[in-house]
Structure formats: structure tokens, C-alpha cells
Amino acid sequence: MTAVLPVTLLPIGVRGMKVLNRQKFLRKVVVPILKVCDEKVSEVTPICKNYFLKLENFKPIQPLKQDSENSYKIIHLNPERISHWTDIDNSDREVLQKCGITEKDLDSKEIEIMYENFKYDSIFKAVLPENEETVSGFSQIGHIIHLNLREHLLDYKKLIGEVLIDKIKTCSTVVNKNNIIDNTYRNFSMEIIAGEENYIVTVKENNCNFRFDFSKVYWNPRLCKEHERILEYLKPGDILFDVFCGVGPFSIPAAKRKCKVFANDLNPDSFTWLNFNAKQNKVNMKNFKSYNLDGKDFICKMFKDFLVNLCNGTEEIQNESKIHITMNLPAMAVEFLKHFNGLLEDKVFMEKFNYEIIVYVYCFVIGDDPYKDAEKLVKESIGCDINILNTFNVRNVSPKKEMMRVTFKLTKNIIFGLKQESECEPPSKKICVEKELKE
């Protein structure tokens, strides 16, 4: 064999390209090939797999066009790994030799590779500025990919968007997130950099379908697992009060699991899509109520009425059923906890009150001990001692900033404002509550 010079398989001559020119990616490259007769192909394939020339839309094993009585295949190998027979591992060479394949069957061939053969990361590596951070860690929500491009990549945004649409079959819109987050509704402004201007997405999570306008409501695919964890605590017949429900990633699957659900969100668009999703997932409407209220009113009216109704017998729940309260608005949720403290004044209900209520409240903390800080924050916010069941680190949001979940029991003492002197802590200044969060 004429030695194949080691080559890179990246596109060349495209560095700095700002307007996508797919023809420019065409290049010729000399690659090693193995000539193998048809009968032996299946035997040697497992060995050759380790050395295959791996490109998009390219078959490493191809028929050899020749008119002899024997027919052959050629196996294309990776020039980044193989330039001599001895680059093939000893043991692999032995197997090949047993099949009658020797050094003389290793040859080289010039092939053409083009845009279609490169993955998006190879393209970005070849086009974008060298030695600088490239496009990384984007997320896909339905047909939308959203990016958070650094300054030095903004000139390339159109190319980046087009490449992603070409290469990711399920993507037809690419947006770049501007750093403007709507602090109330938790949605952020975004700019279309490629594809159709269509923000209505459909995603599947925890066996439910969610449809919503991604430009108007909050959705984070990274919370899927956390939603699932909470859903696992819910049993049929349980009650869920979802104070900041968004388009329903806790509420809709909970209702499907035969919980009685009270779902609330202040954003009218979230409320609209929540109701849409309840219908779309065929939720039993007898067990699903939705509200478009401020969290405070939801707690002080809807949740309170529910407790009163339980106490006076208007509402009933099974003995073993629990009441769960999810509060996923990490930047602010703790500020709503004080409304639980002394929610029921009427002491006549006290005797009857015997319910297990579990609160799952989320917060952001910055610091070296996120567990301790999260617990302290929650205790201070509610204004009395609490029985914490679990403190959990949900995800790292940015260096040193954690999204935490504190799970605690909302006891009779808290609901009736009966804290013992010793349990009382004067509400002091809040630690590490961040309102301007960038996720």
C-alpha cells in the first residue's frame, strides 16, 4: 500500500465563514481501504468496526465495481487512525490474516466528502473562531432549539442556526435567547436566527403531551426528572395544590394518576395552555380545577376554603390521603410561605383537623452550604420552626448557584398559628434570595 498520510476529517478552508456555503465543504481525502471478498465480509466486520471511516450519510462497506468472477467489498477505514497495516492492533491483524486478509489487501482511495457527511459539531469546529468557546449546551423544546450565544459568536448566528436545522431532523426553528427574562412569568425574549417563526411546540414529559407557546410561558426540559420525582410521591386519591403550575408538568400527570388537582398560575397564557393540556390529555375534569390567580390569593382563598370544607365536612378525602403543595417559583416561592402561618383562625376546626400536608418549596441559593442555607431560608420565611423531611439539590443553575427543594410538613401548629415560644423566630433578613436570575 502507498502509505496514507494521516489526515483530519474536519472540513477545511471554511474558517470564518459567515454565510453558509454548503459547496465550500466539498473536499477530497485519501482514505485507507481494505479489499475483502464477499464471503468474508461478515466475519471481518466486527474487527473492522473499530477502524471504520465514520461519516454522516456514508456507508463504510461498499461493493467494489469490477468484472472478475469473484465479487469484493471495500471497507473504508479512518485515516485518522490507520496509515499502515501495523496501525491495526496485533490481535485484530491475526483475525484478519486467518480470513486471508493481509497487508496487500490494504490500499488507499481518494473519496469526496461534502457538507452532508459532516456532523454539526465538526462544522462548528471548522468554521467558528479557533481556541474560543464554541456552541455548546443548547436545549431542544419540541421543534425549537434554543441557544445562548456568547458575544464572539453573534456574527455567526445565522450560519449556526441553518446548520442546526440541516443536521437535526426534528428541529425547524432556532432561537437565540436574549438576556431579558420576564421576572414574573419566567419566560425570556428570544430572537429567531433560523427557520420558521413558530413558537407553538409540543413536547412529551412523564407520559403526557404538553403544547404551549414557548415565547410566552415557562418550560425547562431540565426539570423533567424533578417533576417525575415529585409525581412518585403522589398516590391516587391524594390532593395536589400546584401554586405556580406553569402549563402543568406537575398538575397534568398528577391528575392522570387520579389525584385531585388544584392548579394555579398567574400568567394568563400559562393558564390557557394548562387548560388545553388538561383536555388534550383527557384529564377527568371532576378532579381538576385551574386558577389564574396570584399565589397569595390561591393560598389564602382556594387552599384555605379547601381546608375549611374538609373540617366542616363539605369536602372529603380518604383517611390515608395526603395533601401535597408544590411551589416551583425558586426566585420567590419562599415569600409565599408566610401565608400558611395562621391560615385558619377559627379554632373550632382544630379538633377535626388531622391531615398530612407536605410542602415542596423551591429556592435558589448561592454559597458553600446550599443545604443549610436553603433550610435556613425556608424557616425564616415561614416564621416558625418546621419539620423538614428532605432537602434536595435539584440542579446547578450556574457556578455556585443551586436550585434546591425543601420538603416539609405543614403542621396543625403552623396552620393555626400555634407556634410555641421556643419555635418562634423573628423573621429576619433574607439570605441569598436572588430575584434577577439567569438560567
Ligand X SMILES: *[C@@H]1O[C@H](CO)[C@@H](O)[C@H](O)[C@H]1NC(C)=O
Residue positions in the annotated binding site?
227, 265-266, 294-295, 328
Output the smallest distance, CB 378 to ligand X, in A. Answer: 28
Q: Say whether residue 182 binds ligand X (CB under 6 A).
A: yes
Site string for ligand X, 142-181 (x = CB under 6 A): --------------------------------------x-
Taking CB within 5 to 8 Å according to partner kind, which of ligand SAM, ligand X, none is near residue 180? ligand X
Edge-to-edge strands, sheet with 188-195: 139-141, 144-147, 173-181, 188-195
Of residues 71, 202, 314, 390, which one binds ligand X by CB under 6 A?
Answer: 314
CA angle centred on 63, ends 57 and 68, rounded to 5°: 165
The distance between the two most distant Cα atoms of the chain, rounded to a whole number of Å, is 99
CA gap 20, 159 in Å, rounded: 5
Name every residue whose Cβ is closer than 8 Å to that of residue 424 and which is 6 or more positions away in sequence: 383, 384, 385
Q: Which residues contact 263 (CB under 8 A, 6 or more apart)?
A: 240, 242, 245, 248, 250, 251, 274, 288, 289, 290, 291
Interacting partner of 294 out of ligand X, ligand SAM, none (Cβ under 5 to 8 A depending on kind): ligand SAM
Residue 389: Cβ within 10 Å count: 12
Q: Does 183 sit near ligand X (CB under 6 A)? A: no
Comparing CB distances to ligand X, the nearer of 9 and 266 is 266
The pair phi, psi for residue 393, each rounded to 5°, is -90, 110
Q: Which of 134, 120, 117 is nearest to 168 (CA)?
A: 120
Which position among 176, 267, 272, 275 is part of the footprint of ligand SAM (CB under 6 A)?
A: 267
Distances (CA, A) of 67 to 63, 64, 70, 75, 176: 12, 9, 8, 18, 55
Residue number of the CB closest to ligand SAM reads 246
User: Should residue 209 be labelled a site residue for ligand X when binding is judged by CB under 6 A?
Assistant: no
What does 426 interact with, of ligand X, ligand SAM, none (CB < 5 to 8 A by kind)?
none
Instruction: Tell whether residue 244 is a contact of ligand SAM (CB under 6 A).
Output: yes
249 contact choice in ligand X, ligand SAM, none (CB below 5 to 8 Å, kind-dependent): ligand SAM
Q: What does the block give as the cell for 361?
A: 418549596
**Binding status of residue 434 toward ligand SAM by CB under 6 A:** no
Stretch 145-184: interaction string toward ligand SAM, x if CB under 6 A: ---------------------------------------x
Residue 295 contact among ligand X, ligand SAM, none, beta carbon within 5 to 8 Å by kind:
ligand SAM
At its nearest, how many Å lie between ligand X and the CB of residue 149?
Answer: 17
Are 52 and 60 contacting, i.e. CB atoms less than 8 angstroms apart? yes
What residues make contact with ligand SAM under the rule CB under 6 A? 184-186, 218, 220, 223, 244-246, 249-250, 264-267, 270, 294-295, 328-329
